[in-house]
Structure 1
Amino acid sequence: MAKEKTTLLLRSIILLIFIISLFLSAVCYGALIFTNWMSSAKKTTEQIAADANEYIYKQVCSFMQAPYQMNELTQKIIENGMLDLSDEKQRDRFFAAVLEAQSNEIYSFSYGTANGEYYGARRNGNGVIEIMRNNAETSGESWYYSVNEDLAAENLVVRAGKFDPRTRAWYKAAVEVGGPIFSPLYKHFVMDDLTVSAACPIYNESGKHEGVVGTHMLLSDIGTYLRDAVDKYNGIAIIIDKESNYLIANSMGAANFTVLQDGTLDRYGIEDIDNTDIQNAYKQYKTNSDLEKIYKGENDNIFLNTKEIHMDGIDWLVVTVIPESIFMTDVMNSMLWAAIIATLSLLLSVLIYNLFMNKYIKPMESLLLVSYELSSGNLSKRVDIIRNDEIGHISKSFNNVADKMQALIVNLETVVQERTEELRKANITLSESKDELRLILDSAAEAIYGI
């Protein structure tokens, strides 16, 4: 006996097609969304790195331009004779007023003459402005005076040691180039901070060098610009001297230098930063200095953006690093929730499908059961018609066929019964004729034998 072939029910086939179609649609749609999200997140992170770098660049440039502008204005005032440096009261008020108008990052504003005199104003350790004097009256020492409400020198508060401005790096640099320039970085005399000076030489009408104007700034606040730019993105920003690779400032709060016992500076480089991702990314940047690149870190991909700052005596590099995970984490969480919602939607769709299938496929089951009854010989079974759709029309047609089949079979039985009865009667008639013939033959035989 041949084994019956296993077949799937129509409901199962429809359900399988439905689930596969829904699953493929969800996968394709999810893949499209995920790809777009990933691309959008990367572009956004790249743009954030670029914007943060641009913000830092503008802030630092603005920060560094302030002393340039002060020196340029002072140069014009002195060379045009608008400020009489021999007038002690006028000179003191000028330097104190200009310094008071500037931000606290500019801690000193001064003028060193060609014969070694030194005048100006400074902010002390408490941020209070003091007048500076260094001339023959002070025996070549720097004396500092408190300032009254009229910005005039009042009381002598500090007597510092001998000081000759002509020995300072900023003075020498300005004399050497004969124009505005920034000095090499050095340590502040009192505070543990890096300092840079903007210097500008002063000449008289005959072109003779008379002195150098210097504006001196603390660099610690540059780190504040860096932190403000990248902290909200969990990023890191650093400024590096391109020639020496020494750190100028960083957003991590790490030290950029240390002071040795002899008072000299031990500058830190990028290799001293406790972040191997930045170190490796910077090394790759040095070999292939694209403006924007993505680097693979130990735990995360990072977007690196760089911008160079070029001024007289300044050749710095601003490096901004933004981790990819700042947006990728949100993307992955969104995709996880999307997958959970899609799964729940799929299960809900299957449940709704079953409810509808039970409602709309049940007449087909009834049709199938009736067909089984008819095939087994029970011609009295009919399909209950409960709907007026396609299945209802099929059920009506099926019932009509069943009626005709039953009528034909019943009619066939009647004909067979009639024919059987006619045959029985014919047999009876034939039997009677046979008996009569036999009687005739027997009578004839007797007659013959009697003769």
Structure 2
Amino acid sequence: MIPTPLQNNDRYTRLLGKRSLRVVLIIPFVLQVVGAVGLVGYLSFKNGQKAVNDLAAQLQREVSDRVNQHLDNYLAAAYEVTEQNAFAITHGIIDPNDSERLGRFFWKQMKLFKTIGYIIYATPSGDYIGTGYDLYPDRPQTDEVLPRRYGDRLNRTYNLDEQGNRIGIAEVIKYDYRAEDGYKAIVRAKRPAWVGPILWVESPDIISIGFGTSIYDKNNRLIALIGVDQRLSQISDFLKQIQVSPSAKIFILERNGLMIASSSSEPPYRLVKGTAERLKAIDSKDPLIQGTAAFLMEQFGDFKKITNRQQLDFQLKGQRQFVQATPWRDQYGLDWLVVVVVPESDFMAQINANTRNTILLCLVALIVAIALGILTARRITRPIERITQASEEMAGGNLEQAIKPGNIIELAKLTNSFNSMAGQLEELITGLEDKVKERTAELADANAEISALNEQLQAENLRMAAEIEVARKLQQMILPKDEELKQIPELDITGFMEPTDEVGGDYYDVLRHNGGIKIGIGDVTGHGLESGLIMLMTQTTIRALLQHQETDSTKFLSTLNRVIYDNAQRMKSRKTISLAMLDYHAGCISLSGQHEEMIVVRSNGQIERINTDNLGFPLGLLTNIDEFIGQTQVQLQSGDGVVLYTDGIIEAKNDHRQEYGLERLCNVLSQHWQQTVDEIRQAVVADVQQHIGESKIRDDITLLILKQK
């Protein structure tokens, strides 16, 4: 009797795959070694990371303490100088009426205290004597205002020689120190107090802070004010000298976020329209400082809420950063924040080296384990290979194989299985061929179905492309034509629109109505077919409102918003549109709605910019926007004009990701304003295209220019 073969043994093949016995014997050795070495390496790596965390926290604490101590010592100069001068004047050691001697005394103090930038003596009657760096950041001078001596309130500025003696007047201007905010603040405080910090107007690289105290007589009447301006720039120099790690940053900021000092080379100010303003940490161009400040604001909501030392970490561009924020305060009201941020990568070099060593050891152990496994497997598999060879002969059709069973029970069972295989082989092969034919037929049917679906998909794509082309043509058809614009006698008008997709989301229109002209320009969020549909809704609704004689700007925009909002809700669309509406009549333009700034160009090329943020609200976002709608008016003379545009122009980027910008647009308009509106339009479009270069246009571009005849 032929033994019955084992059933369903193919599931073991699918589960384990085909493996030789040698591989099966070797794999356990390899897995054990790799697992052990890998576990050791992983634990070593995690312990290294913990050590890095502890080291970073300890290092940041030491650096913060060192910075706090430096601030204590650094700013103590202001206390000491102010206290010395108040004592010297109240005890008659220095006569404040001797202005030259007082100025030399101040000069000597500045030589002794290098961080002091200016020393002041002032009285309620208007006397003022100050020595320090005023007109020049590197050359001290003496200022004096003495009404009782000179009979005027002029500030006389004297240059000083190397001994502090006056060598000539550098400047004479009218000046009253009592009008300064610093003087008023110290008088109000009635105790030693800080004022500032501020940027030096002449040298914005220098930040200084004022410290002063009031002097009173026995009747508690104010007789004088003593003060100093102390430079804070040297604090940055100190921070740069601290060696924390290669990429670490230390910075100090006020609780309002303004920078005091940092270890970065970035200046403590930025230029805004040509004027120096103090730099906020979240506006820093140093990515580590900016990222850390943004993280702290997100974590606490306000720098003022950091009341004690905070040890934190965060991710910046996929890299972990350790940050410690420590408050620093003094007895006279200063309240700053010392922040130390260290990238984890600065400490991971050695750990990564250890990881590489661990991987190398794992590879060596793997090779050794494979070698030992091969030797062991060979001794076991030799008897089995003889059985395998006989099995291959039988699989080739030679079923007359006689294998003598060995002494191993498992091999004897395998021999019996081979003997039973010959009778069943033919039946098995025949059944297998039938299954192959059946499967081939199934595959052919599936292939035919896929081909039919592919043809259907191609037809659908052609249909959609045709529909989009129709939508694009419809959109172009409803835009005002040049011959329409030329029929307006009061104005020269020209327009331009270029969508980034087949269907754009920008809108503009010029309509005559009841003796006036209605002008609209808008920008739907995004672009494409859905944005184009919102644009068509806007254009249609505006014309309908005009036909119903709606002239009130608030009702006009409110109704238009409601229509777009209801339709967007029905479409389940999140699209909105920023829209500005202009009503022109007899040289007067009434503007309402929120959009980009409206540019007014006078006949001489002078530019005026009208901000529309308070004149409306994006349409389609809220059900009712009546409370946001406002209106403003602009009067046009002959040669004056208005330029409207969408953000696709000012936000157009070149290959360096630099935006075209509103300033550049204004410059081009001013330079070409004496030309015709068509020539102005061509100049603007050409300049934008030159800026973009080979870059892809990423947003719809729309421009509308009108000029009073």
Q: TM-score, normalised by structure 1?
A: 0.67
For the pair shown, the structure with the greater C-alpha radius of gyration is 1
3-state SS, counterpart of residue 187 of structure 2: helix
Cα distance in 1, alignment partners of residues 220 and 360 from structure 2: 80
Does the CA contact (< 8 Å) of 1:89 and 1:152 recur in 2?
A: no
1:234 to 226, 247, 252: 247
2:265 matched to 1:253? yes
Deviation at 1:195, TM superposition (A): 2.3
1:337 to 338, 357, 376: 357
Deviation at 1:116, TM superposition (A): 1.4
Aligned to 1:181: 193
2:237 matched to 1:220? no
Give deviations 1:213-248, integer Å, cap 9, x for gaps.
111123333322333336744123332221x33333
Cα distance in 2, alignment partners of residues 259 and 161 from structure 1: 27
2:39 matched to 1:28? yes
2:140 matched to 1:129? yes
Give deviations 1:283-336, integer Å, cap 9, x for gaps.
233248461111122321111211122232422222222112211344224312
Does the CA contact (< 8 Å) of 1:230 and 1:236 recur in 2?
A: no
Deviation at 1:153, TM superposition (A): 2.0
One-letter code of the match for 1:251? S
How do 1:68-107 and structure 2 match up within 5 A?
68-103=79-114, 105-107=115-117
Taking a change above 3 Å as real, the CA distance of residues 224 and 7 of structure 1, as seen in their structure-2 partners, is: closer
Gaps of 5+ in 1: 370-451
Q: Percent identity?
A: 17
Taking a change above 3 Å as real, the CA distance of residues 160 and 324 of structure 1, as seen in their structure-2 partners, is: farther
3-state SS, counterpart of residue 242 of structure 2: helix
1:65 to 76, 79, 96: 76
Cα distance in 2, alignment partners of residues 25 and 113 from structure 1: 82
Cα distance in 1, alignment partners of residues 81 and 217 from structure 2: 19
Does the CA contact (< 8 Å) of 1:230 and 1:322 recur in 2?
A: no
Cα distance in 1, alignment partners of residues 369 and 138 from structure 2: 71
Deviation at 1:97, TM superposition (A): 1.0
Aligned to 1:280: 294
Cα distance in 1, alignment partners of residues 244 and 347 from structure 2: 15
3-state SS, counterpart of residue 238 of structure 2: helix
Cα distance in 1, alignment partners of residues 137 and 269 from structure 2: 23
Structure 1 segments of 4 or more deviating over 6 A? 6-9
- What is the count of residue pairs matched by the alignment? 354
Cα distance in 2, alignment partners of residues 66 and 248 from structure 1: 17
How do 1:399-410 and structure 2 match up within 5 A?
none
Aligned to 2:67: 56
Deviation at 1:122, TM superposition (A): 1.0
Cα distance in 2, alignment partners of residues 190 and 258 from structure 1: 14
One-letter code of the match for 1:196? I
Taking a change above 3 Å as real, the CA distance of residues 189 and 154 of structure 1, as seen in their structure-2 partners, is: same
3-state SS, counterpart of residue 65 of structure 1: helix
3-state SS, counterpart of residue 183 of structure 1: strand
2:310 matched to 1:291? yes
Deviation at 1:135, TM superposition (A): 1.2
1:44 to 48, 55, 80: 55
Does the CA contact (< 8 Å) of 2:323 and 2:342 recur in 1?
A: yes
Gaps of 5+ in 2: 6-18, 384-709
Does the CA contact (< 8 Å) of 1:52 and 1:230 recur in 2?
A: no
One-letter code of the match for 1:339? I
Aligned to 1:198: 211
2:128 matched to 1:118? yes
Cα distance in 2, alignment partners of residues 301 and 261 from structure 1: 36
How do 1:365-384 and structure 2 match up within 5 A?
none
Taking a change above 3 Å as real, the CA distance of residues 189 and 142 of structure 1, as seen in their structure-2 partners, is: farther
3-state SS, counterpart of residue 85 of structure 1: coil
Give deviations 1:332-373, integer Å, cap 9, x for gaps.
24312321233235435766x699x89xxx9x99xx99xxxx
2:334 matched to 1:314? yes
Q: TM-score, normalised by structure 2?
A: 0.45
Identify which range, 131-140 or 65-74, moves more after superposition.
131-140
Aligned to 1:207: 220
One-letter code of the match for 2:315? K
How well do the aligned residues superpose, as a CA RMSD in angstroms?
Answer: 3.6
